[in-house]
Amino acid sequence: MGKDIRKFIEDQGGIMPEKLPTPAKSLKQIAKERKNVLTKISKKSPIFYKWSDELIAD
C-alpha cells in the first residue's frame, strides 16, 4: 500500500514526504516551553494557574 501511495504522489507531481521542510521545533518542544512559561506566570497568580492548567489538560 505504501508503494502505491508514493507512486500516486509522484505521478501527481507532489512533494515526497522526505523532501518536505521540517519545523525548527517539534510540537512536543513547543508544548513544553508553553507549559514552562505558564508555570512561571502562575507562581505570581494562583487563579491564573488553575485556568492555565485546564488549558494544558485539553
State pLDDT tens for residues 29-49.
Answer: 999 998 888 777 777 665 555
* pLDDT tens per residue, range 17-29: 899 998 899 999 9
- Report pTM: 0.43
Q: Which three cell numbers stand for residue 55?
A: 488549558
- How many domains is the chain built from? 1
Taking residues 5-23, report their average pLDDT: 92
What's the pLDDT at 5? 94
Domain that holds residue 52: 25-58
Distance CA 11, CA 54 (A): 46
Distance CA 28, CA 22 (A): 14
Structural domain contains residue 16: no
Structural domain contains residue 7: no
| Type of residue numbered 31 | A
What's the pLDDT at 58? 46
Structural domain contains residue 38: yes
Taking residues 6-26, report their average pLDDT: 92
